[in-house]
Amino acid sequence: MCLIAASAEAARRSRAASTLRMSATAYCESGKTRSGAPARRGFVAADPRVLPIGSRIRVLAPKRYAGVYLVMDSGRGIRKRELDIFMPSCKQARAFGRRQLSVRILQPGAK
C-alpha cells in the first residue's frame, strides 16, 4: 500500500472511531428520505457535512435509545451536531423532546 493510501485509510479509521456529543430530536413523518429509501425505524437525519448520507452510527447514551442507526436523511433545520431520529409513533417522537446523545461513528458515508 502506498504512503498516500495508507494515510487516507488511517484518517478514515480515525473519523470512524470518533465519538460526538449531539443534540437529538425525533420525527415521525413517513415518506422518502434524502437517500430515496422510505423512512423507517433505525434511520436518522443529520447534517451531511457532519455525518454524510450512508454513515453508520452507534448511539451510546441514553441507554433506552442505544443502538446502531443509518444516516439516510437530512433536513433544512438540521445543522452541525444535530440528529433527528425516526420513530414510527408521533406520540413517542413528541415525548422524546430534545436530548443530548453520545454517538460513535462506525462507518462514515461517502461525501
pLDDT for position 77: 85
Residue 10 has pLDDT above 70, yes or no: no
Q: Residue 32: beta bridge partners? A: 38
Q: What mean pLDDT is reported for the chain?
A: 86
Q: 53, 72 in Cβ contact below 8 A?
A: yes
Q: In this prediction, what percent of the chain has a pLDDT beyond 90? A: 71
pLDDT value, residue 2 = 52
- Altogether, the residues listed in the chain come to a count of 111
State pLDDT tens for residues 40-90.
Answer: 999 999 999 999 999 999 999 788 889 999 999 998 889 999 999 999 999
Rounded Cα distance, 40 and 92, in Å: 14
What the chain holds in terms of domains, given with CATH numbers, is: 3-107 (2.40.40.10)
